[in-house]
Chain A
């Protein structure tokens, strides 16, 4: 026990000697969460639209105004012919084009169905789908308002269009949609706990991954090896000081999330803190494991970047929902501790649920942490022998 304490003391002294690193470890998460928290939004807003208005009538301008007024779109330019939209889409200065054909105004005025074309850039598949949805909804709403207009032109309009007016009086389903946990459908509340988890991962996995290999590269591992320090003592002695830094980071990022971004913390903070500590077991454990299997810090860095941080970002459900992955890949995600932690943080933050709901995730997270630490300890002895 005393030996472990000495090692912990030594680690803390070393950290104090590297003030740049210490500043980085404590300030970077705050700064990062503030910027990335704003950026990590899957909402689609202000989609730049170029409009090809071949009609140039009050009717076409009316439709364009609808697009202008919508928070989802911003007008990147208005041109006259369809082929003028090409450069906009090619240079990505517009993601979407609305093409209003000549004769549109006349058709609308006389009650004949008119079609406008919406062209979307498919290279960003996700935003495109959402933006197209908004555009078609906007046009449909606009059409309904035209059909409902009690103007004189209504009488001239076809009987079918008039039916739209009294649609509600026919036997039909009226869907009432209620969104739970996040009624405004803000992605902020969903993403910020994720960014928080990602930052904790980045801060701690790096510390762990350099922890032992650093001693090896500097030649001080030999010195540690001749001390009567056991393998578990070595791992725990590295784990605790890093864990302490991680614990401080948990406080800092949670404070930014709650006080700056106003993410509602529905559940208990104590539970959040306790579960974060369990999460740090596995992120530090993964780092330390990488450290024991690497010969140089460069190797450790490559391995940690490609095999720890990147899979955690992509396969944890942070942005890409796990349920969308092919059945073959899904089992792989069980090896990603962030997967469990995300369910837990989002549960505590957004739903205010407790251990009784996510005990299985908590258990899996804990088991993963202990297992990876044991692996690291086993490797550490092999190297020391």
Chain B
């Protein structure tokens, strides 16, 4: 115990001496939360639209006005020919185009259906399907207004769905981002800060001293991780407070549960870094492995941005070994849904297993290296 603390103190002094690393660990997370919290969202507005109105009647102009007034589309160009649309689309200057053929107004007035064309740039499938939804809704509502005007009928569908959104009724992106960012940043600070710790000793030639030191391997590992656990918890809490102050993030659950989940995840992340450090021969390799084993999966396989349910079945299986997956469910549950530890015991248990496994593997590897 005393020896563990001594290792911890030594590591702590080393961190404090390295001003840049310390300030990155403490300040960068909050800074990036601010930046990304403002910058990132999926709300699709201001879709750049080009219009080709070959009709030029009251009806066609009414349809164009409906697009512009919806707030979703910005009219950036009025063109006369199809070729111009090709060009604008290729140059990424527009995302959608509305083509109204000649005779549209006449068709409407004589009670016939008039076809209008909506062209959408599909390169980003997600944006494209949202844009398609907007366009169909706008054309639909203009059409049904016409029906009301012409025939005085109002249609009531036999069944209608009434949507409700829980936990985040305004669908604020920041609310969904913050738990993800905490997980992401905790993973980086955790894994990155320990990934070099042992391989550095090897590279610098101080490894013999570590080998000979009269201290058990688990005690050594725990000593090495403690300072980083403390620093990373401080930075995770700073992210929470900043998000509450700036983005109105509600904290609906208990801080104690949050602390528990964050600590478990951090210990696991630090253990992962430590394990990577024991298997690498150079710091360069350790960095490379961290990015590939910890960084990218936390970003892509955790459900942070890409929904796990949509992934193909074999990949869904892979996500079960991505600890961030459990951490995210736990964080969203505690912070946004206000549920207690009892409701997410499965996720917490998974995190306990992860933390034990990571530290255990690191200890075994290190014990073998020390001989």
Beyond known contacts A177-B117, A218-B204: 8 more, CB 8 A cutoff: A35-B301, A36-B296, A42-B125, A116-B162, A121-B166, A160-B155, A206-B288, A321-B42
- Is B234 in contact with chain A by the CB < 8 A criterion? no
- 27 interchain pairs (CB within 8 A)? A20-B285, A45-B309, A90-B343, A91-B339, A92-B333, A116-B160, A116-B162, A119-B165, A120-B165, A121-B167, A160-B156, A172-B113, A175-B140, A178-B117, A179-B121, A180-B89, A180-B120, A190-B123, A190-B125, A203-B288, A206-B291, A210-B284, A294-B20, A306-B188, A321-B124, A346-B123, A351-B90
> Would you call A176 and B118 a contact (CB within 8 A)?
yes
From B21-29, B260-268, B358-366, the one touching the partner chain is B21-29
> Would you call A130 and B20 a contact (CB within 8 A)?
no
Take A120-B166, A182-B128, A302-B192 as given contacts and tell me if A309 and B291 are in contact as well, using a CB distance cutoff of 8 Å: yes
Q: Which of B130, B155, B337, B344 contacts A163 (CB 8 A)?
A: B155
- Is B251 in contact with chain A by the CB < 8 A criterion? no
Interface secondary structure of B, over-half rule: helix
- Is B282 in contact with chain A by the CB < 8 A criterion? yes
List the 7 shortest-distance A-B pairs measured between CB atoms, nearest first: A122-B168, A182-B122, A172-B143, A139-B161, A187-B125, A143-B157, A179-B122
Nearest-CB residue, chain B, relative to A317: B124
B-contact 0/1 string along A121-155, CB 8 Å cutoff: 11111111110110110011011101100000000
> Would you call A321 and B44 a contact (CB within 8 A)?
yes
- Is A303 in contact with chain B by the CB < 8 A criterion? yes
B-contact 0/1 string along A315-344, CB 8 Å cutoff: 100011101111011001000000000010
> Would you call B118 and A170 a contact (CB within 8 A)?
no
Contacting A at CB under 8 A, from B137-181, are 139-140, 142-144, 146-147, 150-151, 153-169, 171-173, 175-176, 179
A321 contacts which chain B residues (CB < 8 A)?
A: 42, 44, 124, 127
B353 contacts which chain A residues (CB < 8 A)?
A: none
> Would you call B164 and A117 a contact (CB within 8 A)?
yes
- Is B305 in contact with chain A by the CB < 8 A criterion? yes
A-contact 0/1 string along B202-218, CB 8 Å cutoff: 01100000000000000
B-contact 0/1 string along A255-269, CB 8 Å cutoff: 000000000000000
- Is B135 in contact with chain A by the CB < 8 A criterion? yes
Cβ distance B56 to chain A, nearest Cβ, rounded Å: 16
Cβ distance B16 to chain A, nearest Cβ, rounded Å: 14
Contacting B at CB under 8 A, from A100-130, are 108, 111, 113-130
- A124 and B179 CA atoms in complex are apart in Å by 10
- Is A276 in contact with chain B by the CB < 8 A criterion? no
B-contact 0/1 string along A199-220, CB 8 Å cutoff: 0001100110110001001100
- Is B71 in contact with chain A by the CB < 8 A criterion? no
- A324 and B173 CA atoms in complex are apart in Å by 11
Q: Which of B42, B104, B301, B336 contacts A324 (CB 8 A)?
A: B42
Q: Which of A25, A174, A299, A310 contacts B18 (CB 8 A)?
A: A299
- Is A41 in contact with chain B by the CB < 8 A criterion? yes
- A35 and B292 CA atoms in complex are apart in Å by 12
- Is A161 in contact with chain B by the CB < 8 A criterion? yes
Nearest-CB residue, chain A, relative to B303: A124
Cβ distance A122 to chain B, nearest Cβ, rounded Å: 3
A350 contacts which chain B residues (CB < 8 A)?
A: 123
Nearest-CB residue, chain B, relative to A183: B122
> Would you call A329 and B35 a contact (CB within 8 A)?
yes
> Would you call A139 and B45 a contact (CB within 8 A)?
no
> Would you call B121 and A180 a contact (CB within 8 A)?
yes
- A191 and B336 CA atoms in complex are apart in Å by 29
Which of B46, B132, B306 neighbours the largest number of chain A CB atoms within 10 Å of its CB? B306
Cβ distance B57 to chain A, nearest Cβ, rounded Å: 13
B24 contacts which chain A residues (CB < 8 A)?
A: 302-303, 306
A247 contacts which chain B residues (CB < 8 A)?
A: none
Cβ distance A76 to chain B, nearest Cβ, rounded Å: 10
> Would you call B119 and A178 a contact (CB within 8 A)?
yes
> Would you call A182 and B123 a contact (CB within 8 A)?
yes
Place the interface of chain B in its size category: 35 or more
The chain A residues found within 8 Å of chain B, CB to CB, are 18, 20-21, 24-25, 28, 32, 35-36, 38-48, 63, 74, 87, 89-92, 95, 108, 111, 113-130, 132-133, 135-136, 139-140, 142-144, 146-147, 157-158, 160-161, 163-164, 167-183, 185-187, 189-190, 195, 198, 202-203, 206-207, 209-210, 214, 217-218, 294-299, 301-307, 309-310, 313-315, 319-321, 323-326, 328-329, 332, 343, 346, 350-351, 353, 357
Which of A132, A173, A187 neighbours the largest number of chain B CB atoms within 10 Å of its CB? A173
A63 contacts which chain B residues (CB < 8 A)?
A: 159
Take A140-B160, A173-B142, A302-B25 as given contacts and tell me if A181 and B122 are in contact as well, using a CB distance cutoff of 8 Å: yes
Q: Which of A143, A177, A214, A332 contacts B284 (CB 8 A)?
A: A214
Contacting A at CB under 8 A, from B193-244, are 193, 195-196, 200, 203-204
A-contact 0/1 string along B260-304, CB 8 Å cutoff: 000000000000000000001111110111111001100111010
> Would you call A92 and B329 a contact (CB within 8 A)?
yes
Cβ distance A49 to chain B, nearest Cβ, rounded Å: 11
Q: Which of B140, B287, B303 contacts A301 (CB 8 A)?
A: B287
> Would you call A90 and B337 a contact (CB within 8 A)?
yes
> Would you call B188 and A305 a contact (CB within 8 A)?
yes
> Would you call B39 and A325 a contact (CB within 8 A)?
yes
- A115 and B333 CA atoms in complex are apart in Å by 29
Take A36-B301, A123-B168, A126-B42 as given contacts and tell me if A305 and B295 are in contact as well, using a CB distance cutoff of 8 Å: yes
Contacting A at CB under 8 A, from B299-319, are 299-301, 303, 305-307, 309-312, 314-315, 318-319
> Would you call A123 and B136 a contact (CB within 8 A)?
no
> Would you call A118 and B162 a contact (CB within 8 A)?
yes
> Would you call A326 and B38 a contact (CB within 8 A)?
yes
- Is B63 in contact with chain A by the CB < 8 A criterion? yes
Q: Which of B123, B175, B284 contacts A21 (CB 8 A)?
A: B284
> Would you call B151 and A170 a contact (CB within 8 A)?
yes
- Is B91 in contact with chain A by the CB < 8 A criterion? yes
- Is B133 in contact with chain A by the CB < 8 A criterion? yes
Which of A92, A146, A169 neighbours the largest number of chain B CB atoms within 10 Å of its CB? A92
